[in-house]
Amino acid sequence: MFGKEEPARPEVRSASAVEMPLSIVANGTRIIGDIESTGIIKVDGRIEGSVGGARQLLLGRGASIHGNVVADEVVIGGVVDGAILAAERLELQNSAMVNGDIETKSIVVLEGARINGNVRIHDRLTATGDEPRAKTPSEPLRIVTGS
């Protein structure tokens, strides 16, 4: 009451409120080498290497990745020179250009996006059995076409 402060209570977070780690490659930044992350990666710069393991990869308009991409969810607005394996979903915005093969469970391609490669859609992408498995970024992605 008179100058006596109550001790701060620790913030309680529920399991649903846990945030994924966020990594940002800003415009004007160039990274040479592979990137591994289990969180969200937002790229507005340039990566000369592969990106793997991310929950979500967001590649901005004007940004580029010169290497393979492996993530659960991928949204492309810039240029990818390499294969993409999106375990859950891939979105190619109207400014996107992909020079490589694509393997995903679900794909959205907006008018104006360009793909120079093969596209393979799977019901499930897992790391077990005879089903397709996620390749590590240093391993080239092999796309099987036909039945």
Mind listing the pLDDT tens digit for each residue in 68-114? 999 999 999 999 999 999 999 999 999 999 999 999 999 999 999 99
Specify whether the CB–CB gap between 103 and 122 falls below 8 A: yes
Q: Could you give the CA distance from residue 11 to residue 71 in angstroms, rounded to a whole number?
A: 31
Q: How far apart are CA 73 and CA 51, in angstroms?
A: 12
pLDDT digits (tens, 9 = 90+) for 19-74: 789 999 999 999 999 999 999 999 999 999 999 999 999 999 999 999 999 999 99
Beta bridge pairs of residue 97: 79, 114
Largest CA distance in the chain: 79
Q: How far apart are CA 71 and CA 91, in angstroms?
A: 12
